[in-house]
Amino acid sequence: MQPLRRLLIVGIPALMTLPGCAAVGAIRGAAEPLDSYTLTPASLATPMRPTARHIVVQTPVASGALNSDRIVVMPSRLQVQYLAGARWVDPVPDLVQSLLTESLGNTGAFRFVGRTTTGPLPDYTILTEIHDFQAETTGNEAAPIVARVKLSLALMRESDGTIVASRRISAAEPAADVDAAQVVAAFNAATDKVLEQAVAWILSTFGLAGTS
C-alpha cells in the first residue's frame, strides 16, 4: 500500500489535530495550485433527426464530500480523502450536469438541451442525484484503485410535474496505476459507461431508440 500514500491527502478535519509547524505546513500545501482534470461526454456515431422536445438537465444533487471540485478517494466506506495535487475543473454536480447535457445534445434527438429553465418552459426536466463519484482502494496490487460512479435519474414532465420514468445507473472501472492521470482515466471510462446508459434510457423512454 506504499504507493497509495503519495496518492492521498487527509481531509480538512484532520488538519485541526496537527500541532504547530505541521499544521502550518499542511495549510501551505493546501494553498498550492492543483492540476485540473475534466471528463468527456458520450457521443453517438450517427446523430438522430431532431424532435420538437425541449429538455433541461437540472443541476444534480450531491451531498457531503461529493459536492466539491476535489477528487474523492475512499480507503473505506467510512473514510474520505482526496487525490493529492488534483481537482476537477468544476464541482462534481456541475461537471455531471455538463456531461449529461452535452451527451444528450450529441444525439441530435432534441430541439434544445440546456442547463437552465430561463426562457421557454421545457417539455421535460431531467433530475439527477449523485450517489457515488469517487475512487476506492481495493487492496489488490494489480488494480489498487477503482473509480465508481452511480446516478439516480428521473424524467419529469413540466406540464404537470409528473415523474414519467426513473432509473439508477452505475459503473466501475479499475485504474491501471495510482497516479492522478490513471485515476482520472478510470473515472472517464466509468462515467462514459454511465452516460451511454443514461442517454440510451432517455431515448428509449421517448420511443427514440434505434431511430436515425
- Rounded to an integer, the average pLDDT of 157-162 is 95
Asked if the structure places residue 211 within a domain, the reply is no
Asked if the structure places residue 212 within a domain, the reply is no
- Rounded to an integer, the average pLDDT of 59-76 is 94
Cα–Cα distance for residue pair 104/52, rounded to 1 Å: 14
Cα–Cα distance for residue pair 22/16, rounded to 1 Å: 10
Per-residue pLDDT tens for 69-113?
Answer: 999 999 998 899 999 999 999 999 999 999 999 999 999 999 999
pLDDT: which is higher, 140 or 194: 194
Asked if the structure places residue 67 within a domain, the reply is yes
CA 92 to chain centre: 6
Q: What percent of the chain has pLDDT over 70?
A: 81
Write down the pLDDT at residue 28: 41
Cα–Cα distance for residue pair 114/43, rounded to 1 Å: 16
Print the domain residue range for 158.
2-205
Does the pLDDT of residue 182 top 80, yes or no? yes
Asked if the structure places residue 80 within a domain, the reply is yes
How many structural domains are present in the chain?
Answer: 1
| Those residues with Cβ within 8 angstroms of residue 181's Cβ, 6 or more apart along the chain or in another chain | none
Provide the CATH number for the domain around residue 171. Answer: 3.40.50.10610
- Rounded to an integer, the average pLDDT of 201-206 is 94
Cα–Cα distance for residue pair 183/21, rounded to 1 Å: 31
Write down the pLDDT at residue 33: 84
Cα–Cα distance for residue pair 212/210, rounded to 1 Å: 6
Q: If you average pLDDT over every residue of the chain, what do you get?
A: 85
Confidence band for 135, pLDDT divided at 50, 70 and 90: very high
User: What are 115's three cell numbers?
Assistant: 442547463
- Alpha helices by DSSP H, listed for the chain, are 2-7, 12-15, 20-31, 92-107, 180-205
Asked if the structure places residue 74 within a domain, the reply is yes
Per-residue CA distances from 125 to 106, 191, 208 (Å): 17, 21, 17
| Those residues with Cβ within 8 angstroms of residue 13's Cβ, 6 or more apart along the chain or in another chain | none
- Rounded to an integer, the average pLDDT of 103-126 is 89
Cα–Cα distance for residue pair 93/13, rounded to 1 Å: 23
Write down the pLDDT at residue 47: 67
Does the pLDDT of residue 18 top 70, yes or no? no
- Rounded to an integer, the average pLDDT of 163-186 is 95
Asked if the structure places residue 123 within a domain, the reply is yes
pLDDT: which is higher, 142 or 156: 156
Write down the pLDDT at residue 24: 36
Cα–Cα distance for residue pair 135/175, rounded to 1 Å: 9
